Chains A and B, each alone.
Chain A
Amino acid sequence: MKKAHAARDRFLSVLLAVLSVAWIYPVVMILLNSLKKETAISTGTAFELPTAETFGGLANYAEAIMSQGFLSAFWYTLVITVSSVVLILVCCSMCAWFITRVKAWYAKALYFLFVFSMVVPFQMVMFTLSSTANRLNLDTPYTICIIYLGFGAGLAVFMFCGFMKSVPIEVEEAALIDGCNPIQAFFMVVLPILKPTLISVGILETMWLWNDYLLPYLTLDRTKGYMTIPILIQYFRGSYGRVEMGPMMASIMLNIIPIIVVYLLCQKHIIKGVAAGAVKG
């Protein structure tokens, strides 16, 4: 019985190892191709390893970084992601605290509205949202975080409310009795307790924001050159007669590498965050 178990486990290990290699392969393939010379890249040869003749070094990367405003797109993506995540974490946790602690019809109605907004597809509001943003001057990378706060509030409030229910109310009451006002109580007592939740929500929102395509594409004022990396990658195909595959693959890698680095550094938090988010949901 034991032997059969061990054999099965070994078989499973091998199977999973093969699967994992298959799982990484697409990314490795792009990496290898991005190192080839532009002329050596074609549809039929993507599987071939770069050889001495076709190896182009980092030329594609240099071209991708120098051209097309890549650096500014990278900067804008970073600004949008960081500002929106911070804003969402602070504002939505406050709002969620209010909703869970105040037992009134309007708190429930608000909660229902937020949950509803999670289900509504973006296409429903894409036109009206982008024209509202333009009218209110929220179409720059520095102000679009307000749009993101509005459209991303649903998930964040929902998750915070789920966790907030398990925060002991006594601690907050003690803080209020000791003379804190609710704002102090929230920032000095509740937020520290919520730290794991803040990390989970922050991770989920970052994954969404860094990769979001349609919202910034429709909202950002492109006449002023505001782009994010996903928009830039989409442009590689649209703006040329022939797609420049080399620089495109290089910019794909440049988009993936920061994420993978962050992932390797804090995968424990990320995986826990995803699991926690789902369980509370």
Chain B
Amino acid sequence: MEKAIKRFWPVFVIPTFAAFAIGFIWPFLQGLYLSFCRFITIDTAQWNGIQNYIYALTEESFLHSFWFTALFTVVSTICINVAAFAIALALTRGIKGTNVFRSVFFMPNLIGGIVLGYIWNILLNCVLTLLGKPLLSLHAPYGFIGLLILMCWQQIGYMMIIYIAGLQSIPNDYLEAARIDGASDRQILWRIKIPNVMPSITICMFLSLTNGFKLFDQNLALTNGEPGHLTEMLALNIYNTFYGRSGPSWRGYGQAKAVIFCVLVVVISVIQLRATRSKEVQQ
């Protein structure tokens, strides 16, 4: 059978692979090359060595956006996962209206980042005006909190669905056996439910970490990095370096930043997957 399929490989593999080469492999390699160049268009690229990297790693706004992003990612990952898990626990108790609640909490995921950003921009600015405080784009801590609320509002529903699926896949025997043995609700939660949903925790942590790190649309629409680049996250910083300024050196800097960003995301994902995978139990 394998031989028969192998003979037909052009039909099965070539369409996807050709598009993948155009849409990912070639741009990726070219991007890697350009990060060592000065360029405006690809044809006029000049080799520039590691100058771009030296600049990127010493630029203050880039370092600031790195710490801003890191802080945001950590805080949002914790908030989202704790809240999503709590709601999932509440929704697996068989309360009336469970389906309605689940649908409502999931709804924001269907709305795109740009639109979400504007919705919350309008809402939060109204709250701040009524409280007599400076607007979102004038005070960086509010921008941070605004982004956090926005991301929680959007992502809790998604993670909740994954946790519910995880909780429902725990065999009922385990829970019954624990109850007969006299385990309290808290013991059941910590000793049975959490160890058994570790695979869900792995995937949710992975999703919320990478979503936080790669956040772009919401950042652009909610604060656009203001005031003065203080709420600019990494993705937006790279975008602004690339398209916000003119001159042959900026694109090289932007591309170098993008490579650093890419390495960061890959390394963080691998570390996180290793760390939580090792805690998973076999059912």
By a beta-carbon cutoff of 8 Å, the part of chain A in contact with chain B is 9, 12-13, 15-17, 19-20, 23-24, 26-27, 29-30, 33, 43-47, 91-92, 94-95, 97-98, 101-104, 110, 113-114, 116-117, 119-129, 131-132, 136, 138, 146-151, 153-154, 157, 169, 172-173, 176, 181-183, 186, 207, 210-214, 230, 233-234, 237, 245, 248-249, 252, 255-256, 259-260, 263, 267, 270-271, 274-276, 278-279, 281
Partner of A121, one of B100, B255, B261: B261
- Inter-chain contact A150/B112, CB cutoff 8 Å: no
- Inter-chain contact B22/A259, CB cutoff 8 Å: no
Shortest distance between the CB of A266 and any CB in chain B (Å): 12
B177 CB–A CB distance under 8 Å? no
Residues of chain A with a CB closer than 8 A to B97's CB: 13, 16-17
Docked Cα-Cα span, A33 to B96, in Å, equals: 33
B123 CB–A CB distance under 8 Å? yes
- Inter-chain contact B120/A123, CB cutoff 8 Å: no
Docked Cα-Cα span, A119 to B262, in Å, equals: 8
Residues of chain B with a CB closer than 8 A to A23's CB: 104-105, 107-108, 153, 157
Asked if A101 meets B262 with Cβ closer than 8 Å, knowing A12-B95, A95-B13, A275-B162, the reply is no
Q: What are 9 A-B contacts defined by CB distance under 8 Å?
A: A12-B95, A102-B5, A124-B258, A124-B261, A126-B242, A127-B254, A263-B103, A267-B106, A274-B161
B165 CB–A CB distance under 8 Å? yes
- Inter-chain contact A213/B6, CB cutoff 8 Å: no
Q: Which 6 A-B pairs have the closest CB atoms?
A: A150-B23, A211-B112, A275-B165, A46-B126, A128-B27, A150-B19
- Inter-chain contact B114/A234, CB cutoff 8 Å: yes
Docked Cα-Cα span, A132 to B242, in Å, equals: 17
Asked if A183 meets B16 with Cβ closer than 8 Å, knowing A46-B123, A153-B23, A213-B112, the reply is no
Residues of chain B with a CB closer than 8 A to A267's CB: 103, 106
**Besides the contacts A124-B262, A176-B1, A182-B4, what 4 more A-B pairs have beta carbons closer than 8 Å?**
A16-B97, A23-B157, A125-B28, A230-B217
Residues of chain A with a CB closer than 8 A to B42's CB: 128, 131
- Inter-chain contact A147/B22, CB cutoff 8 Å: yes
Residues of chain B with a CB closer than 8 A to A270's CB: 106
B199 CB–A CB distance under 8 Å? yes
B51 CB–A CB distance under 8 Å? no
Docked Cα-Cα span, A233 to B118, in Å, equals: 9
Asked if A183 meets B11 with Cβ closer than 8 Å, knowing A30-B122, A278-B200, the reply is yes
Shortest distance between the CB of B273 and any CB in chain A (Å): 10
Shortest distance between the CB of A121 and any CB in chain B (Å): 5
Residues of chain B with a CB closer than 8 A to A91's CB: 15-16, 19
Docked Cα-Cα span, A117 to B262, in Å, equals: 11
B48 CB–A CB distance under 8 Å? no
Chain B interface, number of residues (Cβ within 8 angstroms): 98
Shortest distance between the CB of B232 and any CB in chain A (Å): 13
Among residues of B, the one whose C-beta sits closest to the C-beta of A214 is: B216
Docked Cα-Cα span, A263 to B122, in Å, equals: 25
- Inter-chain contact A182/B8, CB cutoff 8 Å: yes
- Inter-chain contact B199/A114, CB cutoff 8 Å: no
Docked Cα-Cα span, A176 to B1, in Å, equals: 7
Residues of chain B with a CB closer than 8 A to A154's CB: 24
- Inter-chain contact B118/A124, CB cutoff 8 Å: no
B72 CB–A CB distance under 8 Å? no
Residues of chain B with a CB closer than 8 A to A98's CB: 5, 9, 12-13
Residues of chain B with a CB closer than 8 A to A151's CB: 23-24
- Inter-chain contact A211/B115, CB cutoff 8 Å: yes
Docked Cα-Cα span, A241 to B174, in Å, equals: 63
- Inter-chain contact A149/B111, CB cutoff 8 Å: no
Docked Cα-Cα span, A181 to B87, in Å, equals: 50
- Inter-chain contact B95/A259, CB cutoff 8 Å: no
- Inter-chain contact B203/A20, CB cutoff 8 Å: no
B229 CB–A CB distance under 8 Å? no
- Inter-chain contact B217/A150, CB cutoff 8 Å: no
Shortest distance between the CB of B208 and any CB in chain A (Å): 12
- Inter-chain contact B258/A123, CB cutoff 8 Å: yes
- Inter-chain contact B23/A123, CB cutoff 8 Å: no
Docked Cα-Cα span, A128 to B255, in Å, equals: 10
- Inter-chain contact A43/B119, CB cutoff 8 Å: no
- Inter-chain contact B235/A211, CB cutoff 8 Å: no
Per the 8 Å Cβ criterion, residues 188-223 of B in contact with A are 199-200, 203-204, 207, 210, 213-214, 216-217, 220-221
Asked if A129 meets B12 with Cβ closer than 8 Å, knowing A20-B100, A44-B129, the reply is no
Docked Cα-Cα span, A245 to B122, in Å, equals: 10
Asked if A213 meets B125 with Cβ closer than 8 Å, knowing A20-B101, A123-B261, A132-B26, the reply is no
